[in-house]
Amino acid sequence: MQTKFLIGTYTKKNSQGIYSVKLDSSTKRLLDLHLLVHTQNPTYLGVSAANNLYTVSKNGERGGVGAYNLSNAPVTLINEALGAGSPPAYVGIDEARQLVFSGNYHQSTVTVFKINADGSITQTDQVTHQGLTGPAEEQDTPHVHFCDLTPDNRLVVCDLGMDLVVVYNVTKDGKLTAVSRYQSEPGFGSRHIAFSPTNPTIAYLLGELSSNLEVLKYNPVNGEFKHLQTISTIPADWNTHNGAAAIHVSSDGKYIYTSNRGQNTIAVFQTQSDNSVTMIQAISTEGDFPRDFAFDATENFIVCANQETDNLTLFERNATTGLLTLIQKDFPCPEGVCVKLVTQK
């Protein structure tokens, strides 16, 4: 059986855009990397149920979100929604309301787009984060790094600059209203958040600057979070730079996986009966700066992209223990920063 992944990249060196790669689960090998979309700095990707691709897009001095039809061969551009300034850092999709969300790190904004019948997008709302920021050098201004859905279909936004998580109500027309704010410790650097697939009241918040993982209790009545635990993604004696990056949770809710850029590992955490987590493994990604990774559909494999060494790494995953085993490294892929499973045929 072969599974396809899309790889979003920076195009600062040799990359030309969005690539596709296949995983052959019978031979346990990655193969057939090729350029799918020629575009500039497509650093985050989302694929809709209609098989349309929504990606970070940059065109000259303008940035925004691009929409592509993956059902066409070659893939065709539907439209781009661009504005002045830097492109966003994250793209999320709301299938129920047919919306796309983007979070802009440099402009401190959350933008909402309506998905039209043809897959094109039209902006419906935008909010700008303002307020006190953290003490780290990277926290010079608010920096929105993530915006996606809670289990009850609110929008949850991580602001790295403010050490903040904001929850918004979303109307069917794509309008936002803030309902709660959760403040982490100064310098935490809120980057991404993931909810437990089996317990929608438990979330895991990853701090880029602190290399810490917070376990949070989510209250769907008022959209508020409560702190339960903080645990490091790196050893206590690690004294060189590290930035936590991606976080994913297994579908059984038992294991949490995070990537470390610096230590260059994937850290594996196991959930406990009291909702706390314990680290059970830290495995080398066999490359430098692992910004993202993804499960295959069976969750028996993980594909990881190492940005600075231009390679993909393949791990086999034990579903019972949660542990990872290296099975392939040094698979060439230029400047990979986003890994997205494609489930459509």
**Single residue among 204, 232, 260 that ends a domain in this structure:** 232
DSSP lists the bridge partners of residue 109 as: 104, 128
**Single residue among 232, 258, 273 that ends a domain in this structure:** 232
**Single residue among 210, 232, 254 that ends a domain in this structure:** 232
Q: Looking at the domain assignment, is residue 5 inside a domain?
A: no
Q: Looking at the domain assignment, is residue 1 inside a domain?
A: no
Q: Looking at the domain assignment, is residue 3 inside a domain?
A: no
Q: Looking at the domain assignment, is residue 6 inside a domain?
A: no
φ/ψ (deg, to 5) at 195 = -100, 150
Asked if 306 and 265 touch (Cβ cutoff 8 Å), the reply is no
Domain co-membership, 133 together with 277: no
Domain co-membership, 163 together with 251: no
Q: What is the mean pLDDT of residues 51-78?
A: 96
Other Cβ atoms within 10 Å of 13 Cβ, number: 10
Residue type, 224: E
List the CATH number of the domain containing 309. 2.130.10.10
Angle at 55 between CA 308 and CA 302, to 5 degrees: 55
Domain co-membership, 227 together with 103: yes
Domain co-membership, 303 together with 178: no
| Lookup: tokens for 225 | 């979070």
Q: Looking at the domain assignment, is residue 203 inside a domain?
A: yes
Domain co-membership, 188 together with 337: no
Asked if 133 and 140 touch (Cβ cutoff 8 Å), the reply is yes
| DSSP-derived 3-state class of residue 177 | strand
Instruction: Output the CA–CA distances (angstroms, integers) from residue 334 to 8, 39, 53, 242, 338, in the order listed.
Output: 10, 14, 20, 22, 12
For residue 321, is pLDDT > 70? yes
pLDDT single digits (tens) 293-305: 999 999 999 999 9
pLDDT band at 165 (very low <50, low <70, confident <90, very high): very high
Q: Residue 281's domain spans which residues?
A: 12-36+238-345
For residue 168, is pLDDT > 70? yes
Q: What is the pLDDT of residue 233?
A: 98
Domain co-membership, 267 together with 213: no
- The structural domain count of the chain equals 2
Q: Looking at the domain assignment, is residue 47 inside a domain?
A: yes
Peptide bond into 74 cis (omega under 30): yes
* The length of the chain, given as a count of residues: 345
Residue type, 94: D
DSSP lists the bridge partners of residue 190 as: 207
| Assessment of whether the complete model's pTM goes beyond 0.75 | yes
| Lookup: tokens for 43 | 């650093």
